[in-house]
């Protein structure tokens, strides 16, 4: 791409030189030879494309318009104008090529995360192989300065790891034995031995590259409109130019030469390059700017939809809260607190739910899997198990009701797990989930951006859900919801409120809701396949604040798109009118086409250089919250 751009630039520079030197000589033939050379250097690619497209049936495009206009100018002996039109058109093309290359580099910078090799430890030796050939369970070694080729678990070593390519964060993370690592990150210091947990096809790198490669293929509604507009607009102006060249002289209004010149000027002005080029470029730049902040948008249509969001719905656990539960209080009845914790920990030994994990962590003794049989996990309710011959149920009010047990009414802010043993209520365990440091700031920013309402959907108890909602500033709370009820609640919200609705979630149970929302936002990277597949936007970190950044980028993109549409059409129609009345020459036509295109392209590039002005304020506020 870079070599092609340089070659194009050299041709344009040579054409400018020949064009300028043609005015130095007084000899007409010498001057014409330099003008001819300038025209061929700048215009031959355009003329060739025009004839090639005509053979394919694509008659009405900018190459056709430029070829016809300049051929007509040559027939009217307007040689300098013919060469000038082609020259300035190629200057505009050069700006376009540069802008596209710049935009593509912002997206393809992510492609640098693709690992070239993996150092695999096999049979006491280390060999470099393709990441695709590494299997789950292999031990890979990553040295300082190397990319982590596959997702896995650190089994030996310590290092600072640069995650900027994946998350957009500039501060390296400190990782030790037992930590999970994502492929694509760079080891800054220390040697790491990593046990591979996912094949390359399911790795973070592979998923991100797949998302990036498909993002440009989905056009926004504005892009689709501009494509349709150009399809009808170009033939219309060609017919108008023909009528302009033929009807007035037939009616005796001035000479044929004058009206043909006006028609040719009309053709040059009418080229829709500014719109056809700058609008897709704006969306491409917006997607590139978002990727720098660790936000992957799956297409221009979703970027445009984000700008119109009026309602944002959040899942609670793992989205607004960290999802790292800890036991804060235990109350037992008819047994000791230690025994209650032991039974609850054993009952949930096979569960991966954060609540069960936190109970196991709180119990200081050993949990034996052989003591547990008939383990059952009920989504949105809890678990039941047979522990050493005793039936233990651990869960919420709904589970207790299904077991025919009346639980104690406890008014606590945290998540409450009731425990029943052999059909008798045995007590409860209170578990607290820490709110994310930037959750409240993110809600404030979204409201500043014009989001009219924020909603939280949670399967947690009403008191726990309302406590989190109050702390972060959520407007509407819907609690004690089963996964299937979340979809029903979302549809109710979409019916009651106008405007676009975005849903933000992180878990596998959020996939149906993410798919149903106008814009589904998966948080926390690409850890949950179902959530990522169902979503339209992926936030690569666990920060809700990135959603506000995504909305800012989408608004900036849409503003630039609107500016380009108004500016391009305004100038075009104004100069078209002047050209039809003979008040604009081909030089003005060149400005109306190439000049407007260059200005629109440069304006589109502004999206690519988006800077989040609130980022430093946000980071400072998060630090204060942590302290």
Q: Which residues are catalytic?
A: 315
The C-alpha atoms of residue 53 and residue 51 are separated, in whole angstroms, by 5
Backbone angles phi, psi at 452, to 5 degrees: -80, -30
CB atoms within 10 A of CB 563: 16
Angle between helix 596-608 and helix 79-108 axes, rounded to 10 deg = 10
Burial of 377 (0-12, 13-18, 19+ CB in 10 A): middle
Tell me, what DSSP letter sits at residue 109?
G
> CA-to-CA distance for 14 and 21, rounded, in angstroms?
11
Concatenated DSSP letters of 115-168:
-S-EEEEETTEEEEE-GGG--TT-EEEE-TTPBP-S-EEEEE--EEEE-HHHH-
Other CB atoms within 10 A of residue 111 CB: 14
Within 10 angstroms of residue 368's Cβ, the number of other Cβ atoms is 11
- Non-local (6+) Cβ contacts of 617 within 8 A are none
* CA distances to 12, 54, 83, 310, 370 from 41, in Å: 7, 21, 10, 52, 82
In sequence order, the 6+-apart residues with CB closer than 8 A to the CB of 445 are: 545, 548, 614, 618
Helices vs. strands in the chain: H and E counts, helices first: 22, 22
- Output the DSSP codes for 212-268: HHHHTTS--HHHHHHHHHHHHHHHHHHHHHHHHHHHHHHTTSS-HHHHHHHHHHHHH
Query: What span, in angstroms and rounded, lies between the C-alpha atoms of 245 and 267?
Result: 11
Q: What is the DSSP letter of 22?
A: T
CA triplet 107, 110, 113: central angle to 5 degrees? 165
Q: Under a CB-based contact definition with an 8 Å cutoff, are residues 112 and 165 in contact? A: yes
């Amino acid at each position: 791409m870079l070599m092609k751009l340089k070659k194009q630039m050299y041709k344009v520079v040579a054409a400018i030189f020949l064009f300028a030197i043609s005015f130095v000589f007084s000899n007409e033939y010498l001057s014409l030879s330099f003008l001819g050379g300038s025209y061929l250097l700048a215009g031959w690619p355009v003329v060739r494309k025009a004839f090639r497209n005509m053979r394919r049936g694509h008659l009405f495009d900018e190459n056709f318009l430029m070829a016809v206009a300049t051929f007509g100018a040559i027939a009217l002996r307007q040689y300098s104008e013919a060469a000038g039109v082609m020259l300035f058109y190629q200057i505009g093309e050069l700006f376009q090529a540069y802008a596209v290359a710049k935009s593509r580099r912002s997206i393809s910078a992510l492609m640098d995360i693709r690992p070239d090799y993996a150092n695999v430890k096999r049979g006491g030796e280390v060999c470099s192989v393709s990441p695709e050939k590494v299997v789950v369970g292999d031990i890979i070694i990553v040295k300082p300065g190397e990319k982590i080729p596959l997702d896995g678990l650190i089994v030996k070593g310590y290092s600072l790891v640069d995650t900027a390519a994946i998350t957009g964060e500039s501060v390296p993370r400190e990782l030790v034995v037992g930590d999970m690592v994502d492929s694509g990150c760079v080891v800054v210091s220390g040697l790491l031995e990593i046990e591979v947990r996912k094949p390359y096809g399911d790795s973070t790198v592979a998923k991100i590259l797949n998302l990036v490669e498909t993002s440009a293929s989905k056009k926004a509604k504005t892009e689709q409109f501009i494509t349709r507009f150009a399809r009808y607009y170009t033939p219309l102006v060609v017919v108008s130019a023909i009528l302009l060249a033929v009807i007035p002289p037939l009616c005796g209004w001035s000479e044929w030469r004058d009206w043909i010149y006006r028609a040719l000027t009309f053709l040059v002005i009418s080229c829709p390059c500014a719109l056809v080029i700058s609008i897709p470029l704006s969306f491409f730049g917006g997607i590139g700017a978002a990727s720098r902040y660790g936000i992957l948008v799956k297409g221009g249509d979703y970027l445009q939809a984000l700008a119109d969001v009026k309602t944002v719905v959040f899942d609670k656990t793992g989205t607004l809260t960290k999802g790292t539960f800890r036991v804060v209080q235990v109350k037992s009845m008819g047994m000791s607190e230690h025994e209650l914790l032991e039974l609850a920990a054993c009952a949930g030994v096979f569960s991966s739910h954060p609540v069960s994990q936190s109970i196991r962590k709180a119990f200081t003794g050993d949990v034996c899997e052989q003591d547990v049989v008939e383990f059952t996990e009920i989504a949105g309710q809890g678990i039941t198990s047979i522990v050493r011959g005793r039936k233990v149920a651990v869960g919420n009010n709904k589970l207790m009701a299904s077991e025919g047990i009346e639980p104690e009414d406890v008014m606590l802010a945290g998540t409450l797990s009731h425990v029943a043993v052999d059909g008798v209520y045995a007590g409860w365990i209170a578990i607290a989930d820490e709110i994310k440091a930037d959750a409240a700031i993110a809600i404030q920013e979204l409201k500043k951006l014009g989001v009219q309402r924020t909603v939280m959907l949670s399967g947690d108890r009403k008191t726990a859900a309302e406590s989190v909602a109050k702390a972060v500033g959520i407007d509407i709370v819907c609690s004690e919801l089963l996964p299937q009820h979340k979809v029903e609640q979302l549809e109710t919200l979409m019916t009651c409120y106008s405007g676009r609705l975005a849903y933000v979630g992180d878990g596998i149970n959020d996939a149906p809701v993410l798919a149903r929302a106008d814009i589904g936002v998966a948080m926390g990277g690409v850890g949950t396949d179902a959530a990522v597949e169902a979503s339209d936007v992926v936030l690569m970190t666990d920060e809700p604040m990135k959603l506000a950044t995504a909305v800012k980028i989408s608004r900036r993109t849409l503003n630039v798109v609107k500016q380009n549409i108004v500016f391009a059409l305004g100038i075009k129609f104004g100069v078209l009118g002047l050209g039809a009345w003979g008040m604009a020459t081909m030089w003005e036509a060149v400005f109306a086409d190439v000049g407007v295109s260059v200005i629109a392209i440069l304006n589109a590039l502004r999206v690519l250089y988006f800077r989040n002005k609130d980022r430093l304020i946000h980071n400072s506020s998060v630090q204060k919250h942590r302290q």
